[in-house]
Amino acid sequence: MKNTFKIIAVCCSLFFIAAKAQERPNIVFVLTDDQSYNLLHCTGNEIVETPNIDKLAKEGVLFTNAHVSSAICTPSRISILLGQYERKHGVNFNSGTSVSDKAWEKSYPMVMRKAGYHTGWIGKNHAPVGQGGYESGLMEKSFDYWYAGHGHLGFYPKNRHKIFNDAIAFTQPEIINEGVDDFLDPNARKLKGAIKFLEDRPANKPFMLSINFNLPHSASTSTMKMKPTDDALYRTKYRDIDIPLPDNYIAKKDIKTPKLPADLLRAEDRQAGYNYSDTPEGFKERYIRQLEAMTGIDRLVGNLRKKLKDLKIDKETIIIFTSDHGLFMGEQGLGGKALCYEKTTHVPIIVLDPKAKRKARGIQSDALVQTIDIAPTMLAIAGIEIPKEMQGKDISSLIKGGKKDVRDFVYTENLWSTHFGNPKCEAVQDKEWKYIRYYKNTTRSATQEIKTAKAMRIPVNKMLYAVHDPDIAYYKHLAESSLQGEQPVYEELYNLKEDPNELHNLINNKEHSAILNKLKAAWKIEITKARGTGNPSVYRYTNDSHPNGGH
């Protein structure tokens, strides 16, 4: 009798677990690469066709005032994974570090997997994780389904990463789409390259799928070749229309006064990959490719929603869409990323919750949110405890149509101050005002290094991209000195409501001294919070410790 009770009790609890598992929503998280806020039709771009992403916004919530925390791939993506500011996680291209196992344990994919989610990662990874970073194999082992390449993918990913060789398609969005189908649909074509622990996705578990593009990033759009085998979208679309130059576009030859002092932002040292923005012709060609890439990404979003519907799981699947940061395309004569201007830090976040009430549909929220909020929000939605290490905010109430703000200030930073010319900078902003502070640029000069490498017949890329142990100390100095009293050498104050393009620096305007003082006080509080306490949980990851490691 006692045993019968036991069996009934076990059966009941198993049933309860199964029922509970089905109550938890699936989550698909789509991340694009170097996509500025205005590259979607629903965010005001009148040329680009993104009907499926627009539909996500129309049926869900579009956050119009969302910002990243660091405007460059690696730190931004790690911030998203860990829900932390860079100043806390301590990993960038120039940091000489990788994410430790201990820190990785608290990333959203690891926490969700541990809580019973079936997890997948498709596309690009630009986060060095574990001892040896990209060579550690830790990320590949961390997911139930892995179909991705470390670093850049190029527009034709088979050229870069063997894992994609079994795909039928050759172009990036379509190759990623095959992975999405393979992950979701047990009847889809099985991809030989994909690393998976189970042949098929278990139907009784919720899933968490991260889809990561390397588009419209210049590393991929620069490799588009308009091959006869490419879809017509990537050969002819947007080529017969007038492409206007961006507002405030200044060609290199027309720059009279640089936006920032020439010894602060050393434009001549910029990575050559952004030089297309120097001329209207270069801009136009790259912009057309970006628009094509966005429509390709949009088509995948449409296919994804159709697939979810066909599999009858659309009602249980939340979709989140955002970008790792934006990009200057010649506005104010600037090219590239990393700086704390809106063009680089402002991104769209779109969340579609199919179970949301009518009042939460088609909302545009101007709440101050950041991409570090996505990880804790996904955990909250899944009913999983948020690790104390996460600094982002749970914004699930805003997704349900709530109006209560989650923060008063957004904090953004650039610690990628290297021989490529960018200064260290930090910014705080509220819904109306933004204050940016810049520090003395004490880095080496890429121009000089290239010249020396050529003269001495040293491979230029080794000179430019190797990271050595002393760089760890230099990066550490960048991260800590602002908090230890280092003074800015240049400051800016913008009224974002009246001057969204940040053209008029009001820092010396006495009329705004009260607001400036308020923002300076906020800067101190926000940077202190962002830094947190204790040392970043990282491993040494330089070319001295790992001679072949990429950064």
Residues within the interface to Ca ion (CB under 5 A): 33-34, 73, 324
Give the nearest residue (CB) to Ca ion.
73
Closest approach of Cβ 346 to Ca ion, in Å?
Answer: 14
d(CA 436, CA 82): 25
**Closer of 73 and 301 to Ca ion (Cβ):** 73
DSSP code of residue 315: G
What length does the chain have? 551
Q: Identify which of residues 26 and 95 has a Cβ nearer to Ca ion in the complex.
A: 95
Residue in the block written with tokens 């050498």: 489
Residue number, 73 or 367, with CB nearest to Ca ion: 73
Least separation, in Å, of the C-beta of 73 and Ca ion? 4
Asked if the peptide bond before residue 75 counts as cis, ω within 30 degrees of 0, the response is no
C-alpha distance across the termini of the chain, in Å: 64
CB within 8 Å of 363: residues ≥ 6 apart: 60, 61, 62, 401
Q: Cβ(336)–Cβ(327) under 8 Å?
A: yes
Q: Which is nearer to Ca ion, 26 or 69 (CB)?
A: 69
The 10 Å CB-count burial string (b at 16+, else e) for 124-144 is bbbbbbbbbbbbbebbbebbb
Task: Identify which of residues 72 and 301 has a Cβ nearer to Ca ion in the complex.
Answer: 72
Nearer to Ca ion, 73 or 329 (CB): 73
> For Ca ion, which is the closer residue by CB, 73 or 410?
73
Q: Which is nearer to Ca ion, 57 or 78 (CB)?
A: 78
Q: Please state the closest distance from residue 320 (CB atom) to Ca ion, in A.
A: 17
Q: DSSP secondary structure string, 478-504? A: HHHHGGGTPPPSEEEEEETTT-TT---
In Å, what is the CA distance from 211 to each residue of 125, 173, 427, 500?
10, 10, 29, 31
Min. distance of Cβ 26 from Ca ion in angstroms?
26
Percentage helix, strand, coil for the chain under 3-state DSSP, each rounded to 5? 40, 15, 45
Residue with tokens 């008063």: 408
Minimal distance in Å, beta carbon 33 to Ca ion? 4
> In terms of CB distance, is 72 or 184 closer to Ca ion?
72
DSSP notation for 237-279: TTSSS--PPPTTB--GGG-SS-SS-TTTS-GGGS-GGGGGGGS
Task: Give the C-alpha separation, 214 to 173, whole Å.
Answer: 9
Rank residues 319 and 327 by Cβ distance to Ca ion and give the closer one. Answer: 327
Report the b/e string of 317-332 with b at 16+ CB within 10 A.
Answer: bbbbbbbbbbbbbbbb
Q: Kindly tell me which of 323 and 365 has the beta carbon lying closer to Ca ion.
A: 323
Minimum distance, C-beta of residue 34 to Ca ion, in the bound complex (Å): 4
Which tokens hold the place of 296?
Answer: 């390709």
Least distance to Ca ion, CB of residue 337, Å: 7
Q: Which is nearer to Ca ion, 321 or 435 (CB)?
A: 321
> In 5-16, which positions are buried (b, 16+ CB within 10 angstroms) versus exposed (e)?
eeeeeeeeeeee
Q: At closest approach, how far in Å is the CB of 84 from Ca ion?
A: 17
Close Cβ partners of 95 (under 8 Å, ≥ 6 residues apart): 415, 467, 471, 472, 475, 538
DSSP 378-413: HHHHTT-PPPTT--S---HHHHTT----S-S-EEEE
- Which amino acid makes up residue 88? K
Q: Are strands 369-370 and 363-365 parallel, antiparallel or unpaired?
A: unpaired
The Cα 78–Cα 105 span in angstroms is 13
Q: Least Å distance between CB 68 and Ca ion?
A: 9
